[in-house]
Structure 1
Amino acid sequence: MVKGHQSKESLNNLMQRRLTESTYAVSLSFDKTIKSAKMNVTDGNCSTPSAEYQYYLFPAVYILALVVGLPGNLAAFVVFTFRCNPRTGFSVYISNLALADIVILCTLPFKIHYHLHRNDWVFGDAACRVTGILFFANIYMSICFMTCICVDRYMATVHPHTYLRMRSPRCSLVVSVALWCVVLVAMLIFVLMGPLETNKDESGSHSCFENFAQKEWSLRLVAYSGLCLTAGSLLPSAIILVCYPLAARRISMIRTKTAQKAVRVIYTILAITLLCFLPYHVVYLLHLLGRLEVIQSCSSVNAIYHARRITMALVILNTCLDPVLYYVTTSHCKWKQLKMTWLCGRVGRRRGVYTIAVS
């Protein structure tokens, strides 16, 4: 009887111990599930939507930009830097805008390879940092120099006396160098704060300049994103949108060729800004709000993701449209003469034959 009683107690103890272990395991599993859910909420509780089209959209747009934009910007850089006579502040801004476009275009072969291989970066973190800083810095450089051109045309039309005192190439050169230094130093500090090549998934693929963890956003991306949006987008866009109606109102009372040329320039800059730059920065602002969990709706986050893919491709089209800006600043006959000079490989000696009027 005693043995039977002890055996029964041992069995009960064993069952209680197993029940306790089972309860603990369930509790541990539940805790892990809760922690995982919390982590998902922190990173955004919405799964990344499928965007197969991006693997074809980006390469197609980038190849178009290389084919159309690179020759146009190279020609403009040569003309406004070395062939423009006399050299003015306006031509300095045009040269720098063309240079910014050329730098962006030089990074596109790497990005074409990246997207054709389904967003897998194979060139290492150093190359990711270099191409990333050149690509994004020059997006902001482009809109900054377009703003300078717009202000230059505004001053020439609305405040001609003041413009005559500040139109020297030296003044424009100082402004240009300052812009390059500010943007490149800001981007360089950001790049040196940490790696930009990140593991994307378990397959070993690597992302470049995207798919950052929430911790990265909290530590370094929020401040720089806010700075870029304010100084690199909202302020230049506001200047362009303010200068345009003021200059247009003034020009409507002037019938000179210089005034009409100025309004053509401002029209072109306004069109490029509204088509390429403004959508990109508006969507990037929404993307930033989504990462900060200000926008929490999964449908909204997914829509922003797709819009960001499209506007990132659209912003590169400015490299194709900028040659239109170069064209409208000159007369048609001058470009025809330039083409003949380019084909013949020599410049005529006659006075004014190959001079491009940009003042």
Structure 2
Amino acid sequence: MSGNQSNTSEDHCDFDDSLIFTLVPPYILVISVVLGIIFNVFVLMVFCLHKKACTVAEIYLSNLAGADLALVCCLPFWAENVRKGYDWPFSESLCKVTSAVIYMNAFCSIYFLVMVSIDRYVALVHPLSHERIRRPFYAKLGCLFVWVFGLVFALPIFIYRKLKFNPQSNLTHCSLNFTSDQYLAYEVITITFSFIIPVIIILFCTVKIIQALRKRLMEALNIQKTDQKATTLILAVLLAFLICWVPFHVTKILDVLQSTGILKCHITLIIAQQISTYFAFFNSVLNPILYVLVGKTFQKRARELFMLWNKNQTASFSRLSTRLTSFKFDQSSN
């Protein structure tokens, strides 16, 4: 996503893009408009409109839903770009903004998962000594730091994304205006900070969390139900992240090796890049589904919010009926 999405057709290997132009646009529209936007708006409504304040884990998960929502809102523009054969039909400003937003929110999503995995690690492995830092204020401060960090990392995308007309293909590409050295340095930094470092932290925390849970079960220690429910949901979200994003970053690493000449271009790599990119996008749809299926506390919040909404609707309908009845009575009296 941070590289030349629009330049697939200009790879050194010959590749028939017709299947991509046919299948990818409807796929992107389904996961973005039909699923991604609706599901993530629902998650944000449950977290933000509920009377009870969010826990630390829920603050991170609500910000994750916000990042996923912003990401999928930009995907329809890329669907249209792919449908037109990578001929960008919009302005250069939109090219810059949508690319930067996609990159920024993909980056933020990863680090919100890092934050939530650290929170579970502290809650289960060091429950007493680190209780002070597990407060909503610090969680909100951490989320603000992640958003700022993501914005900084998205700046090169905003600055260097430009529209370039290719006279050979008669197409206008929305692509990164990097030299080969700049591209290599940028990809190495991106892979390091958006994949290697966060995955190491997530795997370390996950292993420690699982070990702590097993130890408590073996020692017959009681685990608070709220901690157990939150941990189950977060482990499911972390697993979904690894399944969806690891293939994408692995293909990015192979692409960097190819650009340096260490690996030769192969049709399999191009196909893998396409599949892994759009599979990574699906993670933004999968997260809300996991909240509903696995998150017991989220299910409870959603039911309570629905009941409150239903109660308000019933009360509003009752008041309206009373007013209509009174109006009809006054009319008949006159």
User: TM-score normalised by the shorter chain: which range applies?
Assistant: 0.7 to 0.9
Q: 2:81 aligns with which of 114, 119, 124?
A: 114
- Contact preservation (8 Å) 1:237, 1:273: no
Task: Determine whether 1:218 maps to 2:180.
Answer: yes
* CA distance in 2 between partners of 1:49 and 1:142 (Å): 32
Distance 1:136-1:102 versus aligned 2 partners, 3 A rule: same
**Counterparts of residues 136-215 of structure 1 (less than 5 Å):** 136-192=103-159, 194-200=160-166, 202-209=168-175
With normalisation by structure 1, the TM-score equals: 0.75
Distance 1:141-1:223 versus aligned 2 partners, 3 A rule: same
Distance 1:343-1:284 versus aligned 2 partners, 3 A rule: farther
Task: Determine whether 1:244 maps to 2:206.
Answer: yes
- Contact preservation (8 Å) 1:92, 1:172: yes
* CA distance in 1 between partners of 2:309 and 2:26 (Å): 29
- SS at the partner of 1:197? strand
- Contact preservation (8 Å) 2:100, 2:158: yes
**Counterparts of residues 277-316 of structure 1 (less than 5 Å):** 277-295=245-263, 297-299=264-266, 302-316=267-281
Distance 1:344-1:123 versus aligned 2 partners, 3 A rule: farther
Distance 1:337-1:84 versus aligned 2 partners, 3 A rule: closer
- RMSD value, Cα: 2.5
* CA distance in 2 between partners of 1:48 and 1:177 (Å): 44
- SS at the partner of 2:139? helix
- SS at the partner of 2:15? coil
C-alpha distance after superposition, 1:219-246 (max 9, x if no partner): 4322221111111111111111121121
Task: Determine whether 1:235 maps to 2:200.
Answer: no
Task: Determine whether 1:81 maps to 2:44.
Answer: no
- SS at the partner of 1:207? strand
- SS at the partner of 2:164? strand
Q: Count residues in correspondence.
A: 297
Task: Determine whether 1:52 maps to 2:18.
Answer: yes
Distance 1:183-1:334 versus aligned 2 partners, 3 A rule: closer
- SS at the partner of 1:160? coil
Match of 1:326?
291
C-alpha distance after superposition, 1:101-131 (max 9, x if no partner): 1111111221121111122101122211110
* CA distance in 2 between partners of 1:310 and 1:111 (Å): 15
- SS at the partner of 1:162? coil
* CA distance in 1 between partners of 2:259 and 2:240 (Å): 28
Distance 1:342-1:94 versus aligned 2 partners, 3 A rule: farther
Distance 1:281-1:346 versus aligned 2 partners, 3 A rule: farther
- Find the structure with the greater CA-based Rg: 1
Match of 1:28?
none
The Cα shift of 1:266 comes to 3.6
* CA distance in 1 between partners of 2:114 and 2:95 (Å): 29
The Cα shift of 1:139 comes to 1.0
Letter in 2 for 1:159: H
- Contact preservation (8 Å) 1:73, 1:99: yes
- The answer for unaligned runs of 5 or more in structure 2 is 1-9, 316-334
* CA distance in 2 between partners of 1:152 and 1:119 (Å): 42
- SS at the partner of 1:249? helix
**Counterparts of residues 87-126 of structure 1 (less than 5 Å):** 87-126=54-93
Distance 1:202-1:323 versus aligned 2 partners, 3 A rule: same
* CA distance in 1 between partners of 2:55 and 2:11 (Å): 55
- SS at the partner of 2:89? coil
* CA distance in 1 between partners of 2:149 and 2:309 (Å): 35
**Counterparts of residues 33-72 of structure 1 (less than 5 Å):** 46-65=12-31, 66-72=33-39
The Cα shift of 1:54 comes to 1.4
- Contact preservation (8 Å) 2:104, 2:150: yes
* CA distance in 1 between partners of 2:146 and 2:121 (Å): 20
- Contact preservation (8 Å) 1:80, 1:95: yes
Aligned-pair identity in percent equals: 27
* CA distance in 1 between partners of 2:46 and 2:129 (Å): 27
C-alpha distance after superposition, 1:303-353 (max 9, x if no partner): 2111111111111101111113433333444433333445566699xxxxx
- The answer for unaligned runs of 5 or more in structure 1 is 1-43, 349-359
- SS at the partner of 2:52? coil
- SS at the partner of 2:173? strand
- Contact preservation (8 Å) 1:140, 1:233: no
Match of 2:235?
267
With normalisation by structure 2, the TM-score equals: 0.81
